[in-house]
Structure 1
């Protein structure tokens, strides 16, 4: 299979009831789910034996930039990709901010209102 640029790198589910969503998707797909803190607001999803989570499930608060699933795509230049999304009719929802590992992430909605994430430098 050829290397496809800008493939999905992460998924995030923002739910008004994160514990319910974690139980549902963990039960449906057998996903290992690891809550990060005592508040239960965010959990990593993935095989902790491999040390590489593949996504997360978090609590959507009243100021959440989106609810539902967002898929994050890896890009070389996050700022340029976010600007290009806006030029093509998208709207910024979550401004770029740092994440562990040296990358940054941002979220926009496409012209249909779907939340799409970008992950890069």
Structure 2
């Protein structure tokens, strides 16, 4: 079981311009604002802007399903036929993320807060 999609990360080529656009769209200022990541919290969702797709070079938005046990969920989806793209790893503050692809190559994310 998941806790739903609560986080969506968007790759952007111009972080400063994207920050202004997303602030206007969401109607709130960023809650995280750095040169490598800008994040907004609005209506129970976290929207993140990642310059140039981040270290993994993503090219489209990735929705992150929040789960209580990331390793168990990765095992479950891979047993069902998914392929791990990015194994679970800590991105700071005890937050773990991972990505996998479905049978059509769509990238999906998992996120676990400790």
- Provide TM-score, normalisation by structure 1: 0.69
CA positional deviation for 1:55: 2.7
CA positional deviation for 1:104: 1.0
Gap runs ≥5 in structure 1: none
Matching residue of 2:39: 44
Matching residue of 2:73: 81
Q: Deviations over 1:30-49 (max 9, x none)?
A: 34235633xx22111126xx
Matching residue of 2:6: 9
- Provide TM-score, normalisation by structure 2: 0.73
Return the alpha-carbon distance in structure 1 between the equivalents of residues 103 and 80 of structure 2.
Answer: 8
CA positional deviation for 1:114: 2.3
Matching residue of 1:69: 61
Is the aligned partner of 1:26 residue 2:23? yes
Return the alpha-carbon distance in structure 1 between the equivalents of residues 5 and 45 of structure 2.
Answer: 13
Quickly say closer, same or farther: Cα 1:99–1:24, change in 2 above 3 A: same
Gap runs ≥5 in structure 2: none
> May I ask how many residue pairs the two structures share in their alignment?
112
